[in-house]
Structure formats: C-alpha cells, structure tokens
Structure 1
Amino acid sequence: MSFSLYEAIVPTMIQILQAGQGWIASAKSCGIAEEELAQTRLIEDMLPFSYQARSMITHSVGAIEGARKGSFSPDLEEAPTDLETMRLALGAAENTMRALSKGEVDSFIDGEMHFTFPAREIDIPFATEDFLLSFSQPNFFFHATTAYGILRMKGVKLGKTAFMGQLRTTLS
C-alpha cells in the first residue's frame, strides 16, 4: 500500500487542528485569565502558548502556502492572545486544509523550495516534499504538543484523547 504526500500530511494535521480548538474551548472555561494562559511558557527560553497555537497554523496552512510559492519564512508577527481568536484561527486553518485537493498537494512532489530567515541570513534549499515531511510536519507536532503541554501544566482538564482528537477509525 502506498501513501500520497497528501495522505501523509493533510488528514492528521486536520485532526490535530480540530483537537486544538477543543483544547482552547476547555481553556476558556477553566477560570484562568486568558492573558496568563497566552503568555505561559514551559520554560523561560521557550515561546508562550499564544505563539505555539499560532505556529500550528504556520506549519500547516503556512507550509502549504510556502510549497505553492517555493519559499517559506517564519511568521514573526505578534500572536493573538485572545483565546477565542486563537480557536477561530485554528478553525479557519482546519477549513483551509480540508479544502486542499489531493492532486494539488501531490503535485508538490519533486518541486523545489527554500526555507528563508533573512534576519539570520538563512536560506536552506529543500525538495518540497522533504520540506513538508522533515521540517513543517515535525514543527507542527512540536508546537501542538507544546501548546497542549502548557494547558495541562496550567491545570486545564485535558487527557490524551483530547490531544488526539477525532480518530479516523473504520467505525466512523
């Protein structure tokens, strides 16, 4: 059985983007101030929850946009700190990923692109599929796991099934 690039990336990103909306809905009702949650870090040298949540979008929708244009750079804009704005942004990212066609994503195979970070004079060339699978997908899961971990650390009632979201079973 072979998998396409689309199947290797898109359905699981949709699953976790949807789950992330649930984490934020739980966070909204936990009684902790939104600004406190938004600014919480696992450790001082890591970026806060607001950045982690936004980076899920950067490394899903942003990665696809980068694949389309052949270049990807980090999103350095200030992340929203309002939980509802974050939840809605994750929902919009989920919808964008759902709208992708298998044909378009698979057409990225054998393309060329660059990860650029002009402020640090970084320009790394990639085959597009390698960028998506070895750079953006691991980053997506890193930021999702970190966002989830921050909420758990702050006492938001979430379990492993909340992280995983809706599984794609043969029962569904």
Structure 2
Amino acid sequence: MSIPIYQASVPVLVRFLKALDRMLDKAATFSTDRQGKSAVKVEETLVRSRLAVDMFDFARQIQITTDMAKGCGARLAGVEVPKFEDTEASIAELKERIGKTVTFLESLDSAAFAGAESRTISLKTGGREVSFSGQDYLLGFVFPNFYFHLTTAYNILRHSGVEIGKMDLLST
C-alpha cells in the first residue's frame, strides 16, 4: 500500500495541531479556575513551566511543534517556510500561533507535493546542514520531532494539573 506524501503529512499534522489547540482551551480554563490565585499568574507560570531545568518551557514546546509542522508542509510543497517570531507569552498567543500554522497547512495545494517523497530537503539544524529525501525528512526527522515536542507539551500540562488525558491528544 502506498500513501501519497501529502496525505501522510498535512492532514496528520493538522489533526494533532487541532488537538493541541483544544488542550490549550483546557489549559485556559484551568488557569481561570484556580481559586485564590490570579488567573494571569497561573497562566504565566504554566506557559513558562518545564519538566526539567534543562528542557524547554511549555511555550517553546508549542513553538517547535508548530515550526516542525509548517516547515514540513512548506518544504515538501516546495514553497517558502513562513517565519513566526517566537514571542508568545500567553495561552491566547500560543493558540493564535497554532491557528496560523493550521491555516498555512490547509492552504497548501496537494498537487505541489507530487514527487516530494524523493525531493532533496536540505536544512540547518544544530548548527549544521543536513539533507534528506522528502520521505526520510517526514518519517525520520519531522514526525519524531513533532511528536516529541507535542507530547512534551501534553506532559507539561498534565504535570501542572490540567485535566487532560490520552484521548484529548488522540481524538479528532
């Protein structure tokens, strides 16, 4: 069975970005429901939360998740990767970033992905230039990074007390 690279990438990324957006709705509710604490203070703490001192905070996890998604769609479609400033400091701003990423991905023409599985994708990461076939880029670079940062964001929310579960991540 062969799956077109567009179908294997864009709809999958969009689905999980929308799940992440819904989890941020629950995080916003969590922030306003904390009795005796300022909702703004709870939200600021949540956005800056991390699982370990040497890990990125929640906001950065969302930024990397969206960067992986928009970079994937753009590179496989052969268009310029949209640049988002990494300045989000609130749940609303993170939701806006996710929304812009979904809008971008949904605007891509599936026909532009023809032959992308064998197209050479080159990018700088970790201070060095790397190249992949489109298929290896998607399966061996994008998906592992996307799911790692998505799951880490989920885990930060869980660890912080936001009432989410596995089905919040997996449901459509």
TM-score (norm. length: structure 2):
0.84
Superposition deviation, residue 160 in structure 1: 1.2
Q: How does 1:61-76 map to 2 (within 5 A)?
A: 61-67=70-76, 68=78
Contact 1:9-1:133 at 8 Å conserved across structures: no
Match in the other structure for 2:6: 6
Match in the other structure for 1:169: none
Q: For the residues of structure 1 that align with 2:139 and 2:68, how far apart are their CA atoms?
A: 11
Q: Which amino acid aligns with 2:14?
A: I
Give the match's secondary structure for 2:130: strand
Match in the other structure for 1:36: 45
Superposition deviation, residue 79 in structure 1: 4.1
Structure 1, unaligned runs of 5 or more: 167-172
Match in the other structure for 2:61: 52
Q: What is the CA RMSD across the aligned residues, in angstroms?
A: 2.2
Do the aligned partners of residues 164 and 79 (structure 1) sit closer, same or farther apart at CA in structure 2, a change above 3 Å counting?
A: farther
Is residue 152 of structure 2 the alignment partner of residue 143 of structure 1? no
Give the match's secondary structure for 1:116: strand
Structure 2, unaligned runs of 5 or more: 32-38
Aligned-residue sequence identity (percent) comes to 27
User: How many residues are paired up?
Assistant: 161
Q: For the residues of structure 2 that align with 1:69 and 1:112, how far apart are their CA atoms?
A: 13
Please give the per-residue CA displacement for 1:110-135, whole angstroms capped at 9, x wherever unaligned.
21121214xx5411121122112210
Q: If each structure's helix is expressed as a fraction of its own residues, which one has the higher value?
A: 2
TM-score (norm. length: structure 1):
0.84
